[in-house]
Structure 1
Amino acid sequence: MSDIRKVGVIGAGVMGASIAAHVANAGVPVLLLDIPAKQGPRSAIAQDAVTRLLKADPAPFMSRAAAKFVSTGNIEDDFGGLSECDWIIEAIVERLDVKQDLYRRLEELRKRGSVVSSNTSTIQLADLTKGLPERFAEDFLITHFFNPPRYMRLLEIVAGAQTRPQALAAISRFADISLGKTVVLCKDRPGFIANRLGAYWLQTAVTEAIEAGLDVEDVDAILGKPMGVPKTGVFGLIDLVGLDLMPHVAASLAAALPQADPFHAANRPVPLVGRLIAEGYTGRKGKGGFYRLNREGGEKIKEAIDLRRGVYRASRKAEVEAISAGGGKLKPLLEHDSVHGRYAWRVIGATLSYAAALVGDAADDVAAIDEAMRLGYNWRFGPFELIDQLGAGWFAAKLESSGLPVPEILRVAGGRPFYRVEHGRRQRLGRDGAYRDLARPDGVLMLADIKLSREPVIKNGSAALWDIGDGVACFEFTSKMNSLDPDTLDLLMRSVHEVAKNFKALVIYNEGQNFSVGANLGLALFAANIAMWSELENLVSQGQTVYRMLKYAPFPVVGAPSGMALGGGCEILLHCDAVQAHAETYVGLVEVGVGLIPGWGGCKEMLQRWASLGRLPKGPMPPIARVFEIVGTATVAKSAAEAKELLFLRPGDGITMNRDRLLADAKAKALTLADNYAPPQPIVLNLPGPSAATALKMAADSFFRTGKATAHDLVVSAALARVLSGGETDVMLESDEDRLLRLERDSFMRLVRDPASLARVEHMLETGKPLRN
């Protein structure tokens, strides 16, 4: 049981309110306070903050139901409520005097053993606790969340010399297990790790780009894919977080860092940024920033600022010779003798060198710095992983030849990599030149670690089966975006036989960005274009057969999704005995978006769930109508909590907040189910037939008449209505699984032959967006 049973958050601004929302996502009561309002209800500031959170996109709450865990108040009338809290988070203005006045008030009423922390990103802990009682310093931490708190996994924690180890352990464990955070322990230094290095990277990138007269699109390409940085690049990222934040962070670091720090050389004035902010161009939250959408004349034209002239022009696709010549690889880019190659070295070389100089200052551990940048700035690789790609010896030599200092940790490395695998364990290089194992927190099981010391039980080009110990096997998708193809289904069928002979249970899991985006549409379109209808029907039949084998296997099957689980990826979860889902799992049957319907048992499984769980009025029509609505609108649950509300997940399915703990939790669930396991009973439903289909089609017609549905939407919805109503049957007859699967298959095949559906499939593959035809 967690030591944290109630949390207080002081400050209902963007960060404070969002932190409170995420605590509520964990099902923990939270008291959100702000100053009394000058007009209206005295607690209006905190109350209005929760109202805004419920309307925000992306949503800070994982479900609207989570908001009930937040109570609001003000720091005059409701301050006493903080005496019940085990953790009190301060997220107020970045002024030391104001914070310390608040801490003194807290010290008078907080209960013994409660922890107080600040979400500051600019003030050091030693300054925050200076002059305060020893008892307060013992229970004080800095807990630096990243925005938005629900989605950003990094939590930087700073403990002081007086901080109790128990206080640090309690908050770290709660943040890990209940909030899903990866905790990185930082030293008490300005900017800690991620913002100190991230601000240096951004500042260097912007100033060097302006001085070199480069275009923003080229810069974002140079500092994008080769570095493993999100497609926003640098200028897109600054627009996302806000241009007005950039000078504030830079000024804070400049005031706090010692004069010898390299940040000062990078922190050169950027008049263009000041002008944009003054004109209201503060990024996406304003009129635009380095990029903007020009809506003049009723059109939406993406424009980019010309860094040389300071005026907007139509944005263009980047075509950088240095990247194309190097195949998008980092080292060839940095070696390329061109304006773009030299720019890349000035920015990337300086950034990686600065990261190396932070070892021993911001953190003692290279892995902590890498983790902070991967999770705080969404880099695919941390700076030391990037140095390993280049070669530590090459990088040190390049610094020397460029007249730049070589940080001590690079000299310690002596050309050796910062990471290596030894005896099946990943190790990192320490400041003393010795390698040490990278330790996972207790209770974490990663497939990536298992792969270092084991070979798969069976595998092919699209999937693999792994032994994860204790009699549990793990089935992993390995295709692009974990899409499902005949090879995936073939190995899944072979895996069912293998697990039945040699294992107790099966977990379906992978560590890709997405669990599965569904069937491989490219293969389906290719087969349709050359009229290979029998092959397409075989694929549908194969999926139905394999998924049914999973459902009735003589062992428990636990799905463990994270990220998107769409279409066939959702259907595989619907056929599992149980699901242990990462909290950030986005589930849906989205086939109507490409002019098709679920064909691998998704319709029958959703019908069975809505008919059997008693959430709707009695009778055959309410569950049919509800599933028609969910599937017919391609509804996607935007969290595991929402997936439960839509019955993509069952009420008893588990939710894991920390992505790194998902496999261990799913394995534990599978082992629990394995005791005295018996497969489920087959589905039998009494469906109304044509009368229900007519009612559903009338509902779709009303949407068409009001312009909310297209002509082909009516064709697709009619096919879906026929499946859900049971085809040619009536409520007195039983519809078994074979009948429902046949209806799915027949309707799918009729739609896939329709040119309008094929146009939707092709458009989705080309643009990633649905075609409204």
Structure 2
Amino acid sequence: MTAEIKKVAVIGAGVMGAGIAAHAANAGLPVVLLDIVPKPGPDGTVADRSAIAKGAVEKLLKTDPAPFMSKAAARLVTPGNIEDDLGLLADCDLIIEAVIERLDIKQALYAKLEGVRKPGSVVSSNTSTIPLAKLVEGLPESFARDFMITHFFNPPRYMRLLEIVAGAQTRSDAVAAVARFADVSLGKSVVLCKDRPGFIANRLGVYWLQAAAVYAGDMGLTVEEADAIIGKPMGIPKTGVFGLMDLVGLDLMPHVLGSMVGSLPANDPFQAIARPMPLVEKMIADGYTGRKGKGGFYRLNREKVKLKEAIDLSTGEYRPQAKPRIEAIDAAGRSLAKLFTHDSVHGRYARAVMGRTLAYAAALIGDATDDVEAIDEAMRLGYNWKEGPFELIDKIGIDAFVTMLEADGVAVAPILKTAAGKSFYRIEAGTRQVLTAAGSYRDIVRPDGVIMLADIKLKTQPLLKNGSAALWDIGDGVACFEFTSKMNSLDPDTMDLLRKSLRLVEKQMKAMVVYNEGSNFSVGANLGLALFACNIAAWPEIENLVAAGQDTYKALKYAKVPVVGAPAGMALGGGCEILLHCAAVQAHAETYTGLVEVGVGLVPGWGGCKEMLNRWATLGRMPKGPMPPVAKAFEIISTAQVSKSAAEAKELLFLRPTDGITMNRYRLLADAKARALALVADYAPPKPPEYVLPGPTGLTAMQMAVDSFAKLGKATPHDIVVSGALARVLSGGDTDFIKPIDENAVLELEREAFMSLVRHPGTLARVEHMLETGKPLRN
């Protein structure tokens, strides 16, 4: 019986192995990271026998995006080497092998592990090319029973997919234990795969990339045209295919292709497109391996004032990058069927690449997996597709899709014939169902501990709703307040419904959760509305909005029932401020939050200043006196610091030390609901704080600091204006530190500063620039 996984070892400190070790440490587990002993130096000695693993940890700490969620997690990793330190594995529950893809090396390592690991511990391989049956061939049954493949995706912290492959002898309880650990502790969505080449995501993903490259060359398309077609119209990231290959690394492609060609049968559709690509081979030889090299299909020519260039697929020469206009995309609108049937080279390209890719996905049913949903999940999370292959086929229409394949002479997989006249997904009695290989439907059942708002919406109507937000009953007396505007930006309608929701919940329910299933919790206030109001000089309306936001967030803070914030992704500006006013927060691990208003020439106006002052005064373990918490809040807000994880949000006190972190995005709502219910008994809202602020002396100190930054060229003229206004708020205005002030006084200072800045030309220029470019203006 496999015990709970409390300690992990990773063998192989390369990019993947080190990344896996870092993520296990992110989960709060002690981790052993081992690699080989370095080769001796010229003097015949080895200065540090564990230098490779130690160097890997040091590199992780410098990598961006960061593999560690906080630098503190790095202290949980113990580096060593496989000659001296195998004894460190004796108390590990899970040992993950991530060494070079050579069967002889892996099997030699497994033989050593068998002599040191504890009974019942699990050994897994991160391989994506060697079949499990080959890996355990000739090894004892006791090892085979405890062995499986755990295929992580790079970078392990950020890619949510984990493919697990069990062998014929692998214990089912071992698979269940690792899957549960990966789900709850590592935040992975686990997909069970058969022991087939490339498993699911890479088998299909590599086919897709290869088809896109081959047909672009055959049809004479540019890389920009190909990426424009096989990108946004398909719900695929804007990198498209050539941009994605640059990101992954062109030098990996020949190895992956070679592995697929060698392991797949001769009649597999992959073999028909697995042609050598001389251009790619030349690019790799010349050091053009993608973003990690001198460039790839795209590059930045720094000799020509950072000119963005793209390679010509026919000549191999670079030229200025162009933004193509694709008539087929414009004509098709949102219809994939119209795009695939558009009478143009672009329509034919879309159909050739995606038609065959979707057909290949269907062919994997019964081979790589028996589960339609598994393939869709693998592509959504392994390749960031918005919708999986079978969801895309549903959008086209199964019968229409089959007709296209037959017209193009593409084999029609059995599952497509089974699905004729149906759809792969349907809603039945408020429950989402998926088609099985046998032709019947089954309910999509969430694991224990998972609640999805999308499921609740299928069965019920909102308690309250307007154009920007909605309130839902999620059971057990708990309501869920959801932002629904574009990018979940906040506007007067949001505030209006939030106030109404608080009143309803206080009368009828036990608690409320603020949560949504968008890519980002909230990007803050709707800047477009603010700019429009400024352009027509509607200053009273702007001040009313600021006051309304302050009053609404105060009502939330002092509500009679607990309100729990449940952010994921970006929670910026006003989105951060709502979290600061919640009774508690249950955050997804990948929460990026901060008060970023200075980037558009403003200061936090919905209570962010007062809450950060209070946090650092009461939770910050600061030196005594009124100035230290003020200086810390000023440093964080004036530099628009944004946490790079929920763990870092705790370090910046955007989250309290007592706030919770959920690793798996799918478990966030259930965890937040549980947190809210745990607060219900004897709940009382917090007592209003008093602020001891330094007044004019503190203002002067902060202004001097800004002046010194300006002299160093680190602060622009408008930075000085904005920082001065922020310093006045945080110092308490004309107050005297002998006389405490209440939060209403700080809110009044916030409003005054906000209104003075919103009229400033420098601020208006920043807002316009942010709306046009998405980037801050340094004016």
TM-score greater than 0.5 by the shorter chain: yes
- Which digits, 9 at most, give the CA deviation of each residue in 1:207-245, with x for residues without a partner? 110111101111001000111100000000000000011
- 1:413 alignment partner, one of 400, 416, 419: 419
Aligned counterpart, 1:474: 480
Aligned counterpart, 1:281: 288
Aligned counterpart, 1:248: 255
Distance in structure 1 (CA, Å) of the matches to 2:279 and 2:3? 50
Alpha-carbon shift at residue 652 of structure 1 (Å): 0.2
Aligned counterpart, 2:4: 3
What CA RMSD, in Å, does the superposition of the two structures yield over aligned residues? 0.8
Aligned counterpart, 1:737: 743
8 Å contact from structure 1 (residues 588, 634) kept in 2: yes
| Secondary structure of the structure 2 residue equivalent to 1:333 | helix
8 Å contact from structure 1 (residues 20, 32) kept in 2: yes
Q: Percent identity?
A: 71
Aligned counterpart, 2:109: 102
Is 2:512 the counterpart of 1:506? yes
Distance in structure 2 (CA, Å) of the matches to 1:311 and 1:435? 52
Aligned counterpart, 2:67: 60
- Which digits, 9 at most, give the CA deviation of each residue in 1:142-162, with x for residues without a partner? 000000000000000000111
Distance in structure 2 (CA, Å) of the matches to 1:33 and 1:90? 10
Aligned counterpart, 1:692: 698
Q: Given residue 160 of structure 1, which amino acid in structure 2 is its aligned partner?
A: G
- 1:393 alignment partner, one of 399, 421, 436: 399
Q: Given residue 145 of structure 2, which amino acid in structure 1 is its aligned partner?
A: E
| Secondary structure of the structure 2 residue equivalent to 1:605 | helix
8 Å contact from structure 1 (residues 504, 671) kept in 2: yes
Alpha-carbon shift at residue 397 of structure 1 (Å): 1.1
Q: Given residue 22 of structure 1, which amino acid in structure 2 is its aligned partner?
A: H
Is 2:603 the counterpart of 1:597? yes
- 2:642 alignment partner, one of 611, 636, 639: 636
Distance in structure 1 (CA, Å) of the matches to 2:763 and 2:47? 55
Q: What residue ranges of structure 1 are gaps of 5+ in the alignment?
A: none
Aligned counterpart, 2:25: 24
Check 1:2–1:520 CA distance in 2 against 1; reply closer, same or farther (3 A cut): farther
Q: Given residue 21 of structure 2, which amino acid in structure 1 is its aligned partner?
A: A
Distance in structure 1 (CA, Å) of the matches to 2:620 and 2:172? 49
- 2:142 alignment partner, one of 124, 135, 145: 135
8 Å contact from structure 1 (residues 304, 313) kept in 2: yes
| Secondary structure of the structure 2 residue equivalent to 1:109 | coil
Is 2:542 the counterpart of 1:536? yes
- Which digits, 9 at most, give the CA deviation of each residue in 1:524-564, with x for residues without a partner? 00000110000100100010000000000000000000000
8 Å contact from structure 1 (residues 2, 174) kept in 2: no
Aligned counterpart, 2:43: none
Alpha-carbon shift at residue 614 of structure 1 (Å): 4.5
Aligned counterpart, 2:389: 383
Distance in structure 2 (CA, Å) of the matches to 1:324 and 1:613? 54
Alignment of 1:713-728 (within 5 A): 713-728=719-734
Alpha-carbon shift at residue 415 of structure 1 (Å): 2.4
Is 2:245 the counterpart of 1:238? yes
- Which digits, 9 at most, give the CA deviation of each residue in 1:371-427, with x for residues without a partner? 000000000010000000000010011111222211100000012100001011110
Is 2:172 the counterpart of 1:165? yes
Distance in structure 2 (CA, Å) of the matches to 1:539 and 1:652? 32
Distance in structure 1 (CA, Å) of the matches to 2:527 and 2:447? 39
Is 2:624 the counterpart of 1:624? no
Aligned counterpart, 1:566: 572
Q: What residue ranges of structure 2 are gaps of 5+ in the alignment?
A: 40-45
Q: Given residue 341 of structure 2, which amino acid in structure 1 is its aligned partner?
A: E
Q: Given residue 279 of structure 1, which amino acid in structure 2 is its aligned partner?
A: D
TM, length-normalised to structure 1: 0.99
TM, length-normalised to structure 2: 0.99
Distance in structure 2 (CA, Å) of the matches to 1:344 and 1:271? 24
Alpha-carbon shift at residue 436 of structure 1 (Å): 0.2
Alpha-carbon shift at residue 2 of structure 1 (Å): 7.4
Alpha-carbon shift at residue 318 of structure 1 (Å): 2.0
- Which digits, 9 at most, give the CA deviation of each residue in 1:436-471, with x for residues without a partner? 011111110010010110100010000000000000
Distance in structure 2 (CA, Å) of the matches to 1:451 and 1:324? 32
Alpha-carbon shift at residue 329 of structure 1 (Å): 3.3
Distance in structure 2 (CA, Å) of the matches to 1:296 and 1:182? 44
Distance in structure 2 (CA, Å) of the matches to 1:614 and 1:656? 23
Q: Given residue 147 of structure 2, which amino acid in structure 1 is its aligned partner?
A: F
Distance in structure 2 (CA, Å) of the matches to 1:329 and 1:561? 33
Aligned counterpart, 1:147: 154
Is 2:670 the counterpart of 1:664? yes
Q: Given residue 27 of structure 1, which amino acid in structure 2 is its aligned partner?
A: G
Distance in structure 2 (CA, Å) of the matches to 1:240 and 1:132? 38
Aligned counterpart, 1:348: 354
Aligned counterpart, 1:681: 687
8 Å contact from structure 2 (residues 565, 672) kept in 1: yes
Alpha-carbon shift at residue 57 of structure 1 (Å): 0.3
Aligned counterpart, 1:704: 710
- Which digits, 9 at most, give the CA deviation of each residue in 1:100-159, with x for residues without a partner? 111111111110100000000001111101111001010000000000000000000000
8 Å contact from structure 2 (residues 335, 396) kept in 1: no
Distance in structure 2 (CA, Å) of the matches to 1:681 and 1:98? 63
Alignment of 1:443-482 (within 5 A): 443-482=449-488
Q: Given residue 288 of structure 2, which amino acid in structure 1 is its aligned partner?
A: Y
Aligned counterpart, 2:42: none
Distance in structure 1 (CA, Å) of the matches to 2:344 and 2:745? 65
8 Å contact from structure 1 (residues 557, 577) kept in 2: yes
- Which digits, 9 at most, give the CA deviation of each residue in 1:655-697, with x for residues without a partner? 0000000000000000000111000000111111111001000
Distance in structure 1 (CA, Å) of the matches to 2:185 and 2:410? 44
Distance in structure 2 (CA, Å) of the matches to 1:562 and 1:220? 28
Aligned counterpart, 1:14: 15
Distance in structure 1 (CA, Å) of the matches to 2:602 and 2:116? 61
Aligned counterpart, 1:49: 56
| Secondary structure of the structure 1 residue equivalent to 2:459 | coil
8 Å contact from structure 1 (residues 394, 415) kept in 2: no
Distance in structure 1 (CA, Å) of the matches to 2:571 and 2:620? 26
- Which digits, 9 at most, give the CA deviation of each residue in 1:48-92, with x for residues without a partner? 000000000000000000001000000001011111110000000
Aligned counterpart, 1:210: 217
Aligned counterpart, 2:298: 291
8 Å contact from structure 1 (residues 225, 328) kept in 2: no
8 Å contact from structure 2 (residues 627, 698) kept in 1: yes
Distance in structure 1 (CA, Å) of the matches to 2:282 and 2:444? 47
- Which digits, 9 at most, give the CA deviation of each residue in 1:675-720, with x for residues without a partner? 1100000011111111100100000000000100000100000000
Aligned counterpart, 1:581: 587
Aligned counterpart, 1:36: 37
Aligned counterpart, 1:189: 196
| Secondary structure of the structure 2 residue equivalent to 1:84 | coil
Aligned counterpart, 1:263: 270
